[in-house]
């Protein structure tokens, strides 16, 4: 005959042919307290069915009376994944099929959106703030060993889709804006891009501040410019300028058929071809 302990009070007595047995069920009810509670899925309370044959005391204990203590959930190593204030450490690879938003509202026309939040500055001081950063590399290559590969901080790719058969207005490998759109403050210096060579230690055989590779041919290009400036502001070079071939001076003289040359004093001048 089965004994249903859920119907017994802590002061109930059991009897057999040898007399009454004074049994206190307080400890049993304490150990099995979870059967009198509800299970929450999200914010919805779901009652535990005590009549289910598949729900036993071992199963209730395994369900967990307390915090989640697992050490890994698809790469997340933080012990309590329910506490969103804890910094999570992800060791695995996560695949996001939608838009990723950091610090702002997501938008369907952007894959990754980073909205920097700055500090409120109401006293004089020196504050630094970075948007997106690739931090310093840790590259462990033993002495005498050669790795013929490469390391790249940022890389943009081309269109690779056989279904691209129509016309696209513009395609850009990178687009940088800088300056002020709204506001009446002052920026002392505004840079579109700064490239800072860093040769503090070790050996760099050849260093390039900007290197434009030769185009990969096979398609059709109407007009091509390696460097094109639509800005009529002057350009400044602190170092020497080396030009391998002749340079036409139509933009300097207003007439085609001229070349730029350098005189004995290092000054540029134009001469008819």
Per-residue pLDDT of 93-126, as tens digits, reads: 777 778 888 887 888 888 888 888 888 999 999 9
Per DSSP (E only), the strands in 42-154 are 44-47, 100-102, 112-114
| Res 29: pLDDT | 37
Q: How many CB atoms lie within 10 A of CB 258?
A: 20
Element (H, E) at 57: helix 57-63
The structural domains of the chain, with segments of one domain joined by +, span 1-87, 243-273
Residue 249: how many CB atoms within 10 A of its CB? 21
Tokens standing for 17?
Answer: 């042919």
Q: What is the pTM of this model?
A: 0.58
Report in angstroms the alpha-carbon separations of 117 from 103, 129, 170, 173, 199.
7, 9, 30, 26, 33
pLDDT tens digits, one per residue of 51-61: 554 444 444 43
The two three-digit tokens of residue 70, written as one number: 């697992």
Positive/negative CA dihedral, 70, 75, 78, 81: negative
Quote the pLDDT of residue 25.
43
- Of the candidates 168, 166, 139, 170, which has an alpha carbon nearest to the alpha carbon of residue 153? 139
Residue 170 pLDDT > 80: yes
Nearest to 110 by CA among 99, 95, 122: 99
pLDDT for 70 equals: 45
Per the prediction, the chain carries an average pLDDT of: 74
Label residue 237 by pLDDT band (50, 70, 90): confident
Higher per-residue pLDDT: 250 or 111: 111
Rounded-to-integer distance, Cα 208 and Cα 199, Å: 12
Q: What pLDDT is stored for residue 263 in this prediction?
A: 73
CA dist 195 and 92 (Å) reads 33
pLDDT digits (tens, 9 = 90+) for 208-223: 999 999 999 899 999 9
pLDDT at 156 over 60: yes
Q: For the purposes of burial, counting CB atoms within 10 Å of the CB of 112, is it exposed (0-12), middle (13-18) or buried (19 or more)? A: exposed
């Amino acid at each position: 005959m089965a004994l249903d302990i859920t119907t017994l009070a802590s002061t109930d007595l059991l009897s057999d042919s040898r007399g009454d047995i004074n049994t206190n069920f307080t400890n049993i009810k304490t150990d099995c307290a979870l059967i009198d509670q509800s299970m929450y899925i999200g914010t919805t309370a779901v009652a535990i069915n005590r009549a289910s044959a598949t729900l036993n005391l071992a199963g209730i204990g395994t369900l967990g009376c307390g915090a989640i203590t697992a050490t890994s959930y698809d790469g997340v190593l933080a012990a309590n994944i329910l506490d969103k204030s804890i910094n999570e450490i992800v060791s695995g690879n996560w695949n996001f099929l939608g838009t990723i938003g950091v610090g702002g509202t997501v938008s369907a026309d952007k894959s990754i959106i980073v909205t920097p939040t700055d500090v409120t500055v109401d006293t004089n001081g020196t504050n630094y703030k970075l948007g997106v950063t690739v931090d310093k590399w840790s590259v462990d290559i033993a002495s005498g060993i050669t790795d013929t590969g490469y390391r790249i901080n940022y890389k943009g790719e081309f269109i690779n889709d056989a279904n691209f058969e129509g016309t696209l207005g513009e395609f850009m490998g990178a687009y940088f804006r800088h300056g002020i759109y709204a506001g009446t403050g002052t920026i002392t210096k505004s840079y579109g891009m700064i490239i800072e060579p860093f040769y503090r230690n070790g050996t760099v055989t050849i260093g390039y501040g900007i290197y434009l590779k030769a185009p990969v041919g096979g398609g059709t290009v109407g007009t091509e410019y390696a460097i094109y400036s639509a800005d009529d502001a002057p350009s400044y070079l602190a170092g020497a300028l080396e030009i391998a071939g002749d340079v036409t001076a139509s933009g300097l003289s207003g007439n085609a058929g001229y070349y730029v040359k350098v005189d004995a004093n290092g000054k540029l001048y134009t001469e008819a071809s």
